[in-house]
Structure formats: C-alpha cells, structure tokens
Amino acid sequence: MSRLRVYSDSLELVRLCRPLWELIARSHPELGKQLRRSVVSVPLNISEGEGRYDGNGRERLKTAMYEAKESRSNLETACAAGFVSEERVAEAHDLADKVAATLFKLVGGAAAR
C-alpha cells in the first residue's frame, strides 16, 4: 500500500464514484465512462509516481491531479445536465477537490500549472 494519504483518499473517491458513474451512464453512457476513466486513473497515477524522484514521478502525480480535476468536472457536468443531483455527488465532489488540492501541493503548486 502507498504511504501517501492522498492515495487512500483517491481509493475512497473510486468507491464513492462507482455508483455515480453507473447512475450517470443510464442517462449518458459516454459521460459515465468518462467519469469512470478519470476517477480510476487517479490512484493508478499516484501509485506510479510515488517514490520516484525523477521527472516522470512528478509527471504522474500531475496527471493524477488533472484526472481528479476532470472527475470533479464530470460530476459537475452530470449535475448541470440533470443526470444526478448535487446532493448525490456532494461527498465525491468534495473529495475530488481535496485530492486535486493535495496533489497540487505535492507537485509544487504554481509550478504544476
């Protein structure tokens, strides 16, 4: 298991989003798939980047950050389109935001842009 707490948070994000991507896919299959892909990518990239002190490790953590942001946007889009309620996605949305913010700090803040 990863030593980074953000990794555990990212796994929890996957657990929270699984029923959401299934629900969203009933109304919009592609958006459900896109949410699934972005969410699942977060812990995989964190794991790949952890403990690597070369540029590739940092890039994987940046990718995980961008995927967490995309996951948040997928949830917001699903709400805006009426596929799911804001209340239903609130916990996952907040956790995606937390994961993205934590990764932003890990990869050097403004240098990650």
Question: 58-111 pLDDT, tens per residue?
Answer: 899 999 999 999 999 999 999 999 999 999 999 999 999 999 999 999 988 655
* Sequence-ordered strand ranges (E) for 64-107: none
Who's near 84: CB < 8 A, 6+ residues apart?
20, 23, 24, 75, 78
Provide the number of structural domains found in the chain: 1
Give the structural domain span for 40.
5-112
Q: Burial, 2: exposed, middle or buried (Cβ in 10 Å; 0-12, 13-18, 19+)?
A: middle
Is the pTM above the cut of 0.85?
yes
In Å, how far are 9, 76, 98, 111 from 92, measured between CA atoms? Answer: 10, 11, 10, 26
pLDDT tens sequence across 7-50: 999 999 999 999 999 999 999 999 999 999 999 999 999 999 98
CATH number, domain containing residue 43: 1.20.1440.60
